[in-house]
Amino acid sequence: MATSPVLDNIPNHVPPELVVRDFPFSFGATTDQIPFDSMISGVHANPDIFYVPELAAGGEGGWVLRRDEDMRAVYNDYEHFSNRDTTPFPQFTGGTWRVLPLESDPPLHSAYRRFLNPVFSPKVTQALDAKIRQYARDYVEGFKDSGRIDFLQQFAFEFPIKVFLELMGLPQGQVKQFLDWTGELLHAPDVETLVRATREVVDYLRGEIEDRKINPRDDVITRGVQAKIDKEGRPLTEDELLGFCFNLFVGGLDTISTNLTWQFLHLARNAEHQELLRSNPAKIPDAIDEFMRIFASVMTFRVCVKETKLRGITIKVGEKVAMSTSIAARDPAAWDRPDEVILDRKPRHLSFGYGPHLCVGMYLARREMKIAMEEFLAAIPSFRLVPGVTMITALHGVMQPDTLMLEWDV
Ligand code: HEM
């Protein structure tokens, strides 16, 4: 990939040979190609660490790491790399809240996780299995005789919203509203839409938090309202409660729908993998882990808070570092045949993050994806892509396509 001479908008200390202008995953980028086919392996022609002048929202530049090893080091190095103020949402409402626990650092972050981890433990999430399976079954029953669906629009978007509403104790009738909000928050066409949607979600969540104070129930919001996060028994503040609810909302919806969609694209293009998993459902959990590696879709950021060096390169205070799980997942130094799907690889991937901020919802996410695949493959015969359909994929943040048309014989 081409590197360019240093121009405006690039800090003086950045060596010109480390500047990359044609990074495909910058803010606002989209493609009509399947990004996993060659775009990610293309990034691995760059230096280990490189600087992209217009990487993030507002044209802000930043560093990109492409080595799994470096990503792990930065995820664990909260002395030099902070998570504070790494999302744009709080500033849109002019409030003092933060997206939590994502936008916090240890030691406060550790206190937050002590409260949140048990709420999403494997045991607790397993107890939701029957409901999750019923939701998946209802969708599949609804479209199996049609012989053709938009997998994303008719299934993958809504299914995790149903589970989320269940978990948070919110009415199932809100599915459409949440669907609209998710789209607007994560892929808004303009800033006005983003600001309006953020305000609406914040007002709605604040209302639900107030309600749980008066009407406690068996749900995650009530557990937050009743939580004590330190030895002195401090309850969560209003801003912290909002931050938690907001983080679960933005963290747990698009991610699952996106990953499911890439997994089903792969199955539609690879009949032998599809048949193998249909006839051996016990192989689905391992397959999902490999799919999570090869179709890793999430990129978040860190901000440097204390000058440091990575592979001899100086990173200065205030500079952003992109943590792209998609790129780390194809690092040729970390993986044997990185671009190949090896269903029983059992990879130790970074697709749910690593270190203190490791995804809170990963057990739930794995169960949702597993159950969705089991139910779909059990009910739907051999399926394929509808020919001639172009998928447009948003490449920044969560790498999300806009459609996945599947068809099968009925
Ligand atoms: C396939 C689905 C999912 C993927 C790929 C995914 C990915 C990630 C990643 C990469 C991080 C780390 C971000 C960072 O360190 O900058 C993260 C954190 C987080 N995720 Fe997930 N996630 C998924 C599902 C979920 C679900 C279902 C929930 C909750 C219902 C959830 C809630 C969170 C929260 C709250 C954090 C912040 C954790 C912290 O800061 O300590 N995620 N996720």
**224 Cβ closer than 6 Å to some ligand 1 atom:** no
Q: What is the pLDDT of residue 88?
A: 84
Point out the ligand 1 atom lying closest to the alpha carbon of residue 83: 16
Q: What is the pLDDT of residue 3?
A: 42
- List of domains in the chain: 16-408 (1.10.630.10)
The pTM of this model reads: 0.95
Classify each residue of 241-280 as buried b or exposed e, where b means 16 or more C-beta atoms within 10 Å of its C-beta: bbbbbbbbbbbbbbbbbbbbbbbbbbbbeeeebbeebbee
Q: What is the pLDDT of residue 161?
A: 95
CA of 77 to the centre of ligand 1 (A): 18
**323 Cβ closer than 6 Å to some ligand 1 atom:** yes
Q: What is the pLDDT of residue 185?
A: 86
Q: What is the pLDDT of residue 8?
A: 63
Point out the ligand 1 atom lying closest to the alpha carbon of residue 358: 12
What are the 10-residue block averages of pLDDT along the chain, 410 residues in total?
A: 53 96 93 95 96 90 98 97 91 90 95 93 92 97 97 96 93 94 83 90 96 95 93 93 95 93 98 98 98 97 97 97 98 97 97 97 97 98 98 93 97
Q: What is the pLDDT of residue 281?
A: 98
**351 Cβ closer than 6 Å to some ligand 1 atom:** yes
Q: What is the pLDDT of residue 4?
A: 40
**18 Cβ closer than 6 Å to some ligand 1 atom:** no
Phi, psi torsion values for 185, nearest 5 degrees: -70, -40
Distance CA 32, CA 315 (A): 34
Task: Find the angle CA(276)-CA(277)-CA(279) to the nearest 5 degrees.
Answer: 70
Asked if residues 225 and 241 have their Cβ atoms less than 8 Å apart, the reply is: yes
